[in-house]
Structure 1
Amino acid sequence: MINLDDTDRQLIALLRDDARTSISELAKRLKVSRGTAQNRLTRLEKAGVITGYTIKLKPAAQPHRIRAWTTIAVEGTTAPAVIQALRGEPAVSALHSTNGRWDVVAEISADSLEAFDRVLGSIRQIKGIMNTETNILLSTHKV
């Protein structure tokens, strides 16, 4: 991993706000030359700091999609294997390690309650998972 300076962090913040911002606009906002902005972006990509670009959809764009957070307790030292298994589950959109009562938080989405039930059933069968608790997200107030 490379050391990030303030300009790198500002560049990443600008891209988080809008990954489609042009290099020229990034350079202008960072108060650096276009070449400097491009070189920094390329360096961050090659170092694996930036691994890709994506879109963010407002929840209202998919009004019938069911989304939830599932908190997961794992047995002993099985967290790496559990996380690897969860990474292979298409309905899991994000995974987070955490502390406290739960070891992992998974963000899950499905097109129907039946599909959601199947996903949860599949997750609960993963070797190393001791317990889960799921909270369905009813509304989103900030994206």
Structure 2
Amino acid sequence: MLTLDETDRRIVAALDRDPRATVLWIARELGLARGTVHARLERLASADVLAPHSVRVRPAALGHPMRAFVTAEVDQAEFDGMIADMRQIPQVVEVAGTSGDSDLMVEIVARDADHVYDVTQQITRCRGVRRTSTRIVLRDLVARRLDQLVLPG
């Protein structure tokens, strides 16, 4: 994984303030050469540092106002097939391997509570899933944020 230097961090912070910022605007705003900004952005993109723009879209704007976290215990022998199956469920937005009582933490989005139920049923039908437990998000109290890490004060 690429470690960001101070110039990279300043560029990322500028993009965080205005995701539509042009290379020229960033260069002027930060007092950098346009070629420098362009090269840095290319390097950040190729190193998979910048997430796709679709990650910034709120699921509610796409008709999925509910979120839930599903923990799952899985048969490790079926792991690759299970991940392939989960990728086929559009409402599964993230899957993380975890330590502790369960093997996976699956974030899902849904239209309503009935849809949460339907999506969790699809998850239980994935190869290798033994058991699941679902927690519906009632309210975001501290939204996902990284800006405080980009330019630490």
TM-score (norm 2): 0.73
Q: Would you say 1:56 and 2:57 are equivalent positions?
A: yes
Distance in 2 (alpha carbons) for counterparts of 1:36 and 1:78: 46
Aligned AA (2:23): I
Question: Where in structure 1 are there 5+ consecutive unaligned residues?
Answer: none
Change (3 A) 1:77 1:136: same
Change (3 A) 1:74 1:11: farther
Shift of 1:9: 4.5
Shift of 1:11: 3.4
Change (3 A) 1:81 1:22: same
Does the residue aligned with 1:78 lie in a helix, a strand or coil?
helix
1:116 counterpart residue number: 116
1:139 counterpart residue number: 139
Change (3 A) 1:58 1:77: closer
Query: Mean alpha-carbon deviation: is it higher for 133-142 or for 45-54?
Result: 45-54
User: Is the contact made by 1:79 and 1:103 (CA closer than 8 Å) also made in structure 2?
Assistant: no
What per-residue deviation string (whole Å, max 9, x for no partner) do you get for residues 21-44 of structure 1?
332343356553222111111222
Change (3 A) 1:139 1:63: farther
Aligned AA (2:8): D
1:21 counterpart residue number: 21
User: Is the contact made by 2:64 and 2:109 (CA closer than 8 Å) also made in structure 1?
Assistant: no
Shift of 1:142: 2.8
User: 4+ residue runs of structure 1 moved beyond 4 angstroms?
Assistant: 28-31, 61-64
Change (3 A) 1:29 1:71: farther
Shift of 1:4: 3.2
Q: 1:33-112 counterparts in 2 under 5 A?
A: 33-50=33-50, 52-54=52-54, 55-57=56-58, 65-112=65-112
Percentage of matched positions with identical amino acids: 30
Change (3 A) 1:86 1:63: closer
Aligned AA (1:138): L
Distance in 2 (alpha carbons) for counterparts of 1:105 and 1:12: 28
TM-score (norm 1): 0.77
Aligned AA (2:58): L
Does the residue aligned with 1:36 lie in a helix, a strand or coil?
helix
Higher helix share: 2
Q: May I ask how many residue pairs the two structures share in their alignment? A: 141
Q: Would you say 1:4 and 2:8 are equivalent positions?
A: no
